[in-house]
Structures are given as structure tokens and as C-alpha cells.
Amino acid sequence: MKELAKPEERKSLPPGDSLLVKRAKDGDDSAFAELVRRYERKVYNICYRMLGCEEEASEALQDSFLRAYHFLKKFKGKSSFYTWLYRIATNVCLTRLRKRKKMMTPPVDEMQDRPRLRQPIFVSSDVIGEIPDASLSPERLVRQRELRRALSQAVDDLPAGFRSVVVLRDFEGLSNREVSKVLNLSVAAVKSRLHRGRLFLRNRLESYLNSHDQNI
């Protein structure tokens, strides 16, 4: 009969978020570093899709984790750690978007000369980050890339209140209830904003597709 492994020899499961949070609160910086490792990609994606700019998204990522570290002792565990963290990141991005509105809009010709932003370094969504299908023709690959750019631009044009709901729900895969906790909204409000945000994106993409078809 095969001898069973001793308890200390069995491969232990990685610690859960709640245990890491407790250790981090007790001063274990390596525990907080593990939380950063687990969620930095997700948080970056949220920041990028909210802000549409790599540089700003990286700054918002750093700011989000600095705030999480600073206020960790105030985290009571009434919600999951990632819900709390996503709320911090979303608020950081919304603050940056409000500051943008206060800035003067540059002249039209200056906006036209501005280089296009590159795609994010970390991508978890199939919409933006999928590997091109080798079976597609060059024409269809070009069309696919153009559609992704159109979608990215449409998300950038979403009002901030709708954008945060669409990003969390459709791009990050959170449930309506999870989004409501992150944004401190009722589930009904989340559903309403999600519906209006999706309509906005659908109208923008239909306009793009119609104009593209007319140019063929």
C-alpha cells in the first residue's frame, strides 16, 4: 500500500485574500505584495479602459494600490477585498476624468495631430487582446483591427457614469450585484446604466459599420 504523504509534505493551497489581508494588516508587506500580484493586471485593465491612456492607467494603478495600502486597516471585510480594491481604482479613475473636464479642450487641428494611443500592455478581454486568427484573410484582419479601434473609441466616448458600469460588467465580467457593491449603487441603477451604456456603444458601432460599408 502506498504510504500517504505527511501533512507537512502535502502541497498547501495558496492563502486566500482574507488571510493575506490579515497578515498585511499585521505588518507583513510580503502579504500585500501578493495581493498586488494577484490583482494588478485586473486593476490595470480597469484603469486603462476607464482612461484610455497607458501612462494615465499606470499612474492610476500605482495610486490605487498606494491608497489600498494606506487605508487597509480601515477595510472591515464586509465585502470581498477585490470589490473594495476595484472601488478604489474606479474612484481614482473617475477623479481623473473629472479633472479632464476642467481642462481647456485643445484646438481641433491639435487634436487631429495627436498620435493614437497604443493598446494596453496587460489585456484580459478577448475584445481587445485576442490573438489574430491565422485563417482570416488580410482584408478581414484589417477589418477586425478597425472594429476593435472603433469599440475602444466608443468606450472612451461613454459618459463616465456609464463607462464604469460597462467596463466592470462587460469587460471585467463582474455580476450586477458585484458592480453595485463596487460603485455603491443599487442593482436597479446598475442595470439602467448598463442598458443605456450598451445602447450608446451599439449606436456608435452601427454608425461606424454603416459608414464603413458605404466606403467599400
pLDDT tens by residue, 31-67 = 999 999 999 999 999 999 999 889 999 999 999 999 9
Q: Are 82 and 145 contacting, i.e. CB atoms less than 8 angstroms apart? A: no
Per-residue cell: 30: 510580503
pLDDT of residue 132: 43
Stronger pLDDT, 145 or 106, i.e. the higher one? 145
Stronger pLDDT, 112 or 92, i.e. the higher one? 92
Stronger pLDDT, 6 or 177, i.e. the higher one? 177
- In 3D, which of 41, 40, 45, 48 has the Cα closest to residue 66? 40
Write down the pTM of the prediction.
0.72
pLDDT tens for 6-22 read: 555 456 778 899 999 99
Per-residue cell: 109: 487641428
| Least confident span in 65-79, 102-116, 144-158, 180-194 | 102-116
Stronger pLDDT, 168 or 138, i.e. the higher one? 168
Percentage of residues in the chain having pLDDT higher than 70: 73
**Helices first, then strands: H and E counts in the chain:** 10, 0
pLDDT tens for 140-173 read: 656 667 777 778 888 888 999 999 999 999 999 9
Cα–Cα distance measured from residue 109 to residue 123, given in angstroms and rounded to the nearest whole number: 31
Cα–Cα distance measured from residue 142 to residue 137, given in angstroms and rounded to the nearest whole number: 9
| Least confident span in 1-15, 68-82, 95-109, 167-181 | 1-15
Domains of the chain: 15-118 (1.10.1740.10), 128-216 (1.10.10.10)
pLDDT of residue 141: 59
